[in-house]
Amino acid sequence: MISITEILKDFPIFETKIHGKRLVYLDNAATTQKPRQVIEAISQYYETRNANVHRGVHYLSEIASEDYEEAHNKVAKFLNAKGMEEIIFTRNTTESLNLLAYSLGLNELEKGDNIVLTRFEHHSNLVPWQQMARRQGAEIRFIEMTEDCRLDLASAEKAIDDKTKVVSITHMSNALGTIIPVKEVSKLAREHGAYMIVDGAQSAPHMPVDVRELDVDFFAFSGHKMLAPMGIGGLYGREDILEKMEPFLFGGDMISIVSFDNATWNRLPWKFEAGTPNVSGGIGLAVAIDYLGKIGFDKIHYIEHELTEYAHERLNELSFIKIYGPEPKYKGAVVSFAMDGIHPHDIASLLDEDGIAVRAGHHCAQPLMKMLGTDSTTRASMYFYNTKEDIDALVESLQKIYKLFS
């Protein structure tokens, strides 16, 4: 097994000093750091084979096209899709979910239909469906949250019915870390003939995802939350559904034949990838997936679960801290908390002076925050390159902050 010391050597950013102190990076739910292997792969692409894909017969274009297509194949294997035809590259989870809201919403939703979401949703999986429901005359319904911040499956059984056209849910809450039982919800969606969509932005970096085992129609994720560069994301979609769907964007490379009067579409997945793609991002994503495979999700889960339990244990020692969300066994490596009488933005700013990076605010989940009786929290989110020493540094700094304000 690779040691944490060896892992940290792969991440050059951890050589950076923040205000003269070592970097304690606990903002991984927002974006993860990048290993040298990913950085070097992107640099090598621009240095040795930069060209547009699918557009030329010269060597650079052909080799870039091969790399870009292989990246699709790698993501397909990563998610256990049938093949690259089921993998669309987008900029991020947000774009993937908007693609679905427009392509499905405009063509499938009718007045009287309903769309089912959960109370945990990120704005990216709430606002697009809100707008599409308003436009098409559909209803938004919500699966409720239990008192201990888990999904209420009994509520799901009530919310999903024969008028449900779309069920779109997060796999793991970015604000609380709650892991959602996707397979159980998917079973309900299947019973009523609804499309099953999963926002996997927070799950794909931390746990094995098998889209066929989960029995979902669509699964969206972002590369930058799993070691890859920003600006590259993916959308898995069942091939038979993608074949019937209308494209979200129109233009170059997504067409087959164009006349002055009409156009026909390219084969999958290019039908949904209009214009010049983020080739270097796709290459970086493929290398990131290789890196995660080298670490292994069993080890990633072990490290993160240990860290989450330790963070709960240490923070619970502080009488002035309130933790939001479920117990560690029901969540990923996210701990959201509040400090008596001190705004999360002040906490985050003072933590930064100690070289500690966290996130403060509503975490793009304002309705959820309102349900919790607050407008914002401080969020520490871990990844496999974090250590218990990072948690200790966080706790020590929080104690200093509380004394300062007291």
pLDDT at residue 45, as a whole number: 97
What is the sign of the dihedral through the CA atoms of 198, 382, 361 and 14?
Answer: negative
* In the predicted structure, residue 78 carries a pLDDT above the cut 80: yes
* In the predicted structure, residue 1 carries a pLDDT above the cut 80: no
**pLDDT one-digit tens code per residue, 278-320:** 999 999 999 999 999 999 999 999 999 999 999 999 999 999 9
* Cα–Cα distance measured from residue 8 to residue 212, given in angstroms and rounded to the nearest whole number: 34
Please report, for the chain, the start and end positions of each structural domain, with discontinuous segments joined by +.
Answer: 4-30+296-405, 40-293
**pLDDT one-digit tens code per residue, 82-103:** 999 999 999 999 999 999 999 9
Place of tokens 């700094």: 397
**pLDDT one-digit tens code per residue, 30-49:** 999 999 999 999 999 999 99
* Cα–Cα distance measured from residue 370 to residue 145, given in angstroms and rounded to the nearest whole number: 13
* In the predicted structure, residue 353 carries a pLDDT above the cut 90: yes
Q: Work out the number of other CB atoms within 10 angstroms of the CB of residue 213.
A: 11
* In the predicted structure, residue 354 carries a pLDDT above the cut 80: yes
Nearest to residue 178, comparing CAs of 210, 146, 213?
146
**pLDDT one-digit tens code per residue, 48-73:** 999 999 878 899 999 999 999 999 99
Strands 218-222, 195-199: parallel, antiparallel or unpaired by DSSP?
Answer: parallel
Mean pLDDT of the chain: 97
Q: Strands, E, within 145-216: which ranges?
A: 164-170, 195-199
pLDDT at residue 108, as a whole number: 93
Q: Class of the 40-293 domain?
A: alpha beta
What is the sign of the dihedral through the CA atoms of 135, 141, 145 and 151?
Answer: negative
* Cα–Cα distance measured from residue 366 to residue 376, given in angstroms and rounded to the nearest whole number: 8
- Residue 26 — pLDDT band, cuts 50, 70, 90? very high
Arithmetic mean of pLDDT, 156-184: 98
Task: Provide, rounded to the nearest whole percent, the portion of the chain with pLDDT above 70.
Answer: 100
pLDDT at residue 55, as a whole number: 79
Place of tokens 């931390």: 206
Phi, psi torsion values for 368, nearest 5 degrees? -65, -45
* In the predicted structure, residue 179 carries a pLDDT above the cut 70: yes
**pLDDT one-digit tens code per residue, 313-343:** 999 999 999 999 999 999 999 999 999 999 9
* In the predicted structure, residue 267 carries a pLDDT above the cut 80: yes
- Residue 406 — pLDDT band, cuts 50, 70, 90? confident
Could you confirm whether 149 is annotated as catalytic?
no
Are the C-beta atoms of 177 and 308 separated by less than 8 Å? yes
**Catalytic-labelled residue, pool 228, 364, 368, 382:** 364
Specify the range with the lowest mean pLDDT, choosing from 17-21, 78-82, 360-364, 402-406. 402-406
- Residue 383 — pLDDT band, cuts 50, 70, 90? very high
* In the predicted structure, residue 2 carries a pLDDT above the cut 90: no
pLDDT at residue 27, as a whole number: 98
Nearest to residue 29, comparing CAs of 201, 199, 197?
201
* In the predicted structure, residue 23 carries a pLDDT above the cut 80: yes
pLDDT at residue 282, as a whole number: 98
pLDDT at residue 56, as a whole number: 81
Between the two ends of the chain, the Cα-to-Cα distance in Å is 45
CATH architecture of structural domain 4-30+296-405 = Alpha-Beta Complex (3.90)
**Amino acid at site 16:** T
